[in-house]
């Protein structure tokens, strides 16, 4: 009799524990399933201590409360860079009012030719709210190392006609300034927009 009572009590406790587990699981925010590569918790790409096109020192902390999309390139890039920036501008437009909570950041790997004036004119072709960052060769090398970015100058027929080989992916940060997603070049507008929406809708 006692054994039967004890077994019944254990079974009831198990049901209570199981129900509590379901309740906790149901109340916990579900992590978004990203279209890009989920890099949540990565210990690289931590900051961008560079200067913007207006001469102002910048940091990722400046964009708190916004989803930040960072791309490395250069203004004389014939295809990858304008395509990526054009897609990001389209993502912002597609979000309507929420587009104001998205910050595009373009880091030049060619500061020799990409002067502040050149960068201002270039970004005006895509979105006036986009920020361009540049630095000394030493600063750029340090940031590129932290972001695992590859870039290399490829000499042309004249001293100023060189091109730049460079990594072509985008880094996406949540509104708390944490790196969350990496988008390979060619992922497309829909995939990036879906991930930006997910991060905008996710509570801290």
As annotated, the binding site for Cu cation includes 77, 81, 166
- DSSP-based three-state secondary structure for 43: coil
Contact 105, 71 (CB under 8 A): yes
Query: With left for phi above 0 and alpha for psi between -120 and 50, is residue 153 left, alpha or beta?
Result: beta
In eight-state DSSP terms, residue 202 is S
Which positions ≥6 away from 10 have C-beta within 8 Å? none
In eight-state DSSP terms, residue 176 is T
Residue numbers in the known binding site are 77, 81, 166
Which positions ≥6 away from 181 have C-beta within 8 Å? 34, 36, 37, 38, 39, 171, 172, 195, 199
The C-alpha torsion from 187 through 189 and 190 to 194, rounded to 10°, is 90
């Amino acid at each position: 009799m006692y054994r039967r009572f004890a077994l019944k009590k254990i079974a009831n406790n198990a049901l209570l524990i199981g129900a509590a587990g379901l309740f906790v699981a149901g109340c916990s925010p579900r992590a978004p399933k990203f279209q890009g590569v989920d890099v949540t918790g990565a210990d690289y790409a931590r900051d961008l201590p560079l200067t913007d096109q207006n001469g102002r020192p910048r940091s990722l902390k400046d964009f708190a409360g916004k989803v930040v999309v960072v791309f490395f390139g250069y203004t004389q890039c014939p295809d990858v860079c304008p395509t990526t920036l054009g897609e990001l501008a389209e993502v912002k437009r597609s979000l309507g009012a929420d587009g104001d909570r998205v910050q595009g950041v373009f880091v030049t790997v060619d500061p020799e030719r990409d002067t502040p004036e050149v960068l201002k004119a270039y970004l005006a072709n895509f979105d006036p709210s986009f920020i361009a960052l540049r630095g000394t060769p030493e600063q750029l090398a340090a940031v590129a190392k932290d972001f695992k970015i590859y870039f290399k100058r490829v000499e042309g027929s004249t001293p100023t006609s060189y091109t730049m080989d460079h990594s072509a992916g985008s880094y996406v940060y949540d509104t708390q300034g944490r790196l969350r997603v990496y988008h390979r070049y060619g992922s497309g507008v829909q995939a990036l927009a879906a991930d930006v929406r997910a991060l905008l809708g996710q509570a801290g």
